[in-house]
Amino acid sequence: MEKKRSSKINNFLFIGIYFLLYCIIFFTIKNKLLFTPDFGESDAYHLNLSLKYFLAQNLRQGKIPFWTNQLQGGYPLFSEGQIGTLFLPNLLFFKFLNFPDAYNLVFVFSLFLISSGFYLLLREFKVKALISLLLSLIFTFSGTISLRWVHINLIQSFSLTPLLCYVLIKYFNSKKKSLPLIATLVISQIIFAGHLQIVFISLFALFLFCVVYLILKKKSLSEISINIVFLFFIIISGFILSLSQILPTFLLTQNSSRLLSLDYNIATSFPFTWAHLISYFTPYYFGSPKLGTYPPYSNDWGIFWENTPYLGWPLFLLMFTSLIITIKKNFSKKLVFFGLLLTIFFIFLALGKNSPFYFIFSFFPFNSFRTPSKYLLAANFFLVFTAGIIINNLYLSLKHQLSKIILIILLLFNIVILIKFTFNYQLFLNKDIVLSTPKSSNIIDNNSLYLTLGQGNDWNDVFLNKGWLTENSINNYLFFKNYLYQNSNLLFGKKIFNINTGTFKLRRPEYLKDLVEKNISLEDKKTIIIDRKLQNLLEIIGIRYIISSLPIQDDAYKLLTSLQNNKYKIFIYKDSQIGSELFYVPKKIKKITFLNEFTENYQDDKISLSHSLIEDIPFAAITNNEKYSLSHIETYGNNLKIKGSFKNKTFFVLQQNYYPEWSVYIDGKRTSIYKTNLIHIGFFIPKGTHDIELRYENFYFKLGLVISFMYLLLFIFILFKLKRL
């Protein structure tokens, strides 16, 4: 009893050390924000910072960001998931703190969770408290985690993985009834954090680990089977408690340009390579992105921060020595063997098409994600866990205090190496500079759509040749903020017809975006030419502004201004004929059934706001009534209210991206919606005076919330009523 009490005191003490360390890190980066460049953009700035900023804005207004008109011309942002709306730290910190502090705090808190969870896991396996403390810090600052700081939602999803593993192992050891409930809630939070691939990798890795652990406990086959079934029950329960996120995400997948099962070549793109194994020992063997010396990434080569699982040479020196002691003295030999086996297995998965298991990426769910190098997170998890077991064996076998001190010093030195490497690589800039409004944002109005072209070429010219070591390079990246590249427009309240996401883009707007980009022609690679057909398509979409790295030759789009920094120039154009109207009434409408019909009409120059293409209407073509008057137009949130008088039955089109969650009500009664010009919401209004309302229903979110709440009550009741699990 006294021993358990002492162990708890040690745990609180060492977790207190984590708290102190991460407070120091927080105050070190206070008033700064992460801006580390990547290939073509900064994932830190253009993706994650922007999403969290938009989340913070909404939470402070007491809203959930179900939909935004600022991305892809209209997009179900909550459903996509990466914004992490329902992740508790996000809800708390972004609601009540100023944004820079909240952003840094959720990031630092995630690191604290990783360290604390990994520490508790090692302690559950009887590893000495000090060894557990040091190994958990080595894991937290290893390359697989520290280089992925640019993806805060990935870090947040993974942050609870060590804690979940600890809770599951603790349950198998103690059978405490509260632990399955805790595990279920933790799984739901991993899902809410918003990185689907990490959800799969974490649960898959922990399932394998738990099965191995149950086998090593030498339980009977029936006991092992019962525990595995119960483990499935816990995982499924976690998913059920997450239905308020899962159901909206599933709906988005049904309307996305991305399939749930990817092509083999896509699923295995950006893999780990055999040559990159040396990155475990030295991170810059192939060059440094910061210096602009790292090779350009490709589908076969990969990305630096994905393929560098750096752990530090002192750890491997200690592991080699400890492994000899473990083998000689038969300490935890089976656990060490399986730990190394799991490490090798996940390294093989990270190798993707280079792996002996390459064929596995032809099957669901392994073919649902690209970048197999993310499996290195699980590989490092098991590698450092195994290191903790065998280094603890070495520590216990040492008879001289001096030898133990040297061991601790080597681990401390390893931590210093990793922390220095991390902060030397990552780029933190003053928060006011990162969040400052670029000049281009003051030129473009908030209610009109724009398209941005050419940032990738300019950005990569700096990234691949200069990196971000010099002030001049950093100033170039800051100048490129003027491109208002997706999703950075969320920082400034602008509307772009594109979205920055590696997951699900709306199929129809994405098709139109691709059609626009394919039909932009270049003259001597120096001038963009827009023909009449493309002009009509841009008018239908409502793209009023174009931000470009090249001049545009067009009668409609007029140059507003150009911006320049060093050799880089950005042009901003505007078509004054394209307004920011919320609706239009076409003169003629024509029925189409298949996508190729839209393409054919586009090629024949038969699409415009006045001649629109409609799906699913019960007739081939009609001439529309244009005689109407509107007495009231009101927007509230993403919804819209209109009151008007119509002399005849009228086909009315709202310039809002179609999505199944939208409903149109006329005088309080729901009416049929017809997809118009591929993306817009069209409907018939009867003759007379009517109140019209466009409403985003959130049905799948509400349904998931009800099911999850009812299941949680049932889960708690069953859990505490059962005498024996």
Q: Please check whether residue 60 lies inside any domain of the structure.
A: no
**Whole-number pLDDT of residue 3:** 58
Instruction: Tell whether the model's pLDDT for residue 90 goes beyond 70.
Output: yes
Instruction: Tell whether the model's pLDDT for residue 297 goes beyond 80.
Output: no
Same domain assignment for residues 24 and 158: yes
Of the residues 525, 542, 575, the one at which a domain ends: 575
Same domain assignment for residues 570 and 606: no
**Whole-number pLDDT of residue 350:** 94
Same domain assignment for residues 546 and 628: no
**Whole-number pLDDT of residue 6:** 65
CA distances, 172 to each of 203, 205, 226 (Å): 17, 17, 11
Residue 551: exposed, middle, or buried by beta-carbon count in 10 A (0-12, 13-18, 19+)?
middle
Residues 216-236 have pLDDT tens digits of 887 788 889 999 999 999 999
Mean pLDDT of 126-131: 94
**Which long-range contacts does 176-181 make (Cβ < 8 Å, 24+ apart)?**
177/719, 177/720, 177/722, 177/725, 180/230, 180/234, 180/237, 180/719, 180/725, 181/715, 181/716, 181/719
User: What single string gives the DSSP state of each residue in 658-707?
Assistant: --TTEEEEETTEEE--EEETTTEEEEEE-SEEEEEEEEE--HHHHHHHHH
**Single-letter residue type at 436:** S
Residue the block writes with tokens 């080699």: 320
**Whole-number pLDDT of residue 405:** 94
Nearest Cα neighbor of 661 from 74, 175, 7, 63 is 74
Comparing 195-199, 404-408, 621-625, which segment has the lowest mean pLDDT?
A: 621-625
Instruction: Tell whether the model's pLDDT for residue 468 goes beyond 90.
Output: yes
**Whole-number pLDDT of residue 4:** 63
**Single-letter residue type at 65:** P
Strand spans (E) along 526-627: 527-529, 543-548, 552-553, 557-565, 568-575, 583-584, 588-592, 611-615, 621-623
Cα–Cα distance for residue pair 539/554, rounded to 1 Å:
14
Same domain assignment for residues 483 and 602: no
**Residue 719 or residue 713, greater confidence:** 713
Instruction: Tell whether the model's pLDDT for residue 300 goes beyond 90.
Output: no
**Whole-number pLDDT of residue 149:** 96
- List alpha helices for 480-585, DSSP H: 507-518, 532-541
For 71, the enclosing helix (H) or strand (E) is: none
Q: Please check whether residue 40 lies inside any domain of the structure.
A: no
CA distances, 232 to each of 177, 228, 386, 713 (Å): 16, 6, 25, 19
**Residue 655 or residue 262, greater confidence:** 655
**Whole-number pLDDT of residue 269:** 84
Helices (H) and strands (E) in the chain, counts: 26, 22
Report residue 379 as tokens.
């590989």
Same domain assignment for residues 417 and 333: yes
Cβ neighbours of residue 171 closer than 8 Å, sequence gap 6 or more: 179, 180, 183
Instruction: Tell whether the model's pLDDT for residue 322 goes beyond 80.
Output: yes
CATH number at residue 666: 2.60.420
Instruction: Tell whether the model's pLDDT for residue 69 goes beyond 80.
Output: yes
Average pLDDT, the chain: 92
Cα–Cα distance for residue pair 158/89, rounded to 1 Å:
14
Cβ neighbours of residue 356 closer than 8 Å, sequence gap 6 or more: 348
Domain that holds residue 280: 2-30+76-430
Q: Which residues of 296-315 are buried (b: 16+ CB within 10 A; e: fewer)?
A: ebeeebbbbbbbbbbbbebb
Cα–Cα distance for residue pair 249/79, rounded to 1 Å:
5
Q: Please check whether residue 703 lies inside any domain of the structure.
A: no
**Whole-number pLDDT of residue 259:** 80
Q: Please check whether residue 725 lies inside any domain of the structure.
A: no
Report residue 166 as tokens.
């600890």
**Whole-number pLDDT of residue 725:** 47
Q: Please check whether residue 490 lies inside any domain of the structure.
A: yes
Residue 494 near residue 446 (C-beta atoms within 8 A) = yes
302: left (phi over 0), alpha (psi -120 to 50) or beta: left
Same domain assignment for residues 473 and 551: yes
Using 50, 70 and 90 to split pLDDT, how confident is the model at 642?
very high
Same domain assignment for residues 18 and 115: yes
Of the residues 542, 575, 608, the one at which a domain ends: 575
Same domain assignment for residues 609 and 546: no
Cα–Cα distance for residue pair 306/301, rounded to 1 Å:
10
Q: Is omega for the bond preceding 365 within 30 degrees of 0, making it cis?
A: yes
Side-chain-facing half-sphere of 607: CA atoms under 13 Å? 25
Using 50, 70 and 90 to split pLDDT, how confident is the model at 510?
very high
Cα–Cα distance for residue pair 72/517, rounded to 1 Å:
14
**What is the end-to-end Cα distance of the chain in Å, rounded?**
25
Residue 539 near residue 564 (C-beta atoms within 8 A) = no
Residue 328 near residue 229 (C-beta atoms within 8 A) = no
Q: Please check whether residue 542 lies inside any domain of the structure.
A: yes
Instruction: Tell whether the model's pLDDT for residue 7 goes beyond 80.
Output: no
Cα–Cα distance for residue pair 500/106, rounded to 1 Å:
22
Same domain assignment for residues 13 and 158: yes
Of the residues 378, 397, 430, the one at which a domain ends: 430
Question: Rounded to the nearest 5 degrees, what angle is found at the Cα of 79, between the Cα atoms of 74 and 82?
Answer: 100
Q: What is the pTM of this model?
A: 0.94
Q: Please check whether residue 233 lies inside any domain of the structure.
A: yes
Same domain assignment for residues 189 and 250: yes
Same domain assignment for residues 116 and 255: yes
Residues 43-68 have pLDDT tens digits of 999 999 999 999 999 999 999 999 99
**Whole-number pLDDT of residue 378:** 97
Q: Please check whether residue 630 lies inside any domain of the structure.
A: yes
Residues in the chain: 725
Residues 379-428 have pLDDT tens digits of 999 999 999 999 999 998 888 999 999 999 999 999 999 999 999 999 99
Other CB atoms within a 10 A radius of the CB of residue 340 amount to 17
Using 50, 70 and 90 to split pLDDT, how confident is the model at 28?
very high
Same domain assignment for residues 569 and 591: no
Mean pLDDT of 475-486: 96
Query: How many structural domains comprise the chain?
Result: 3
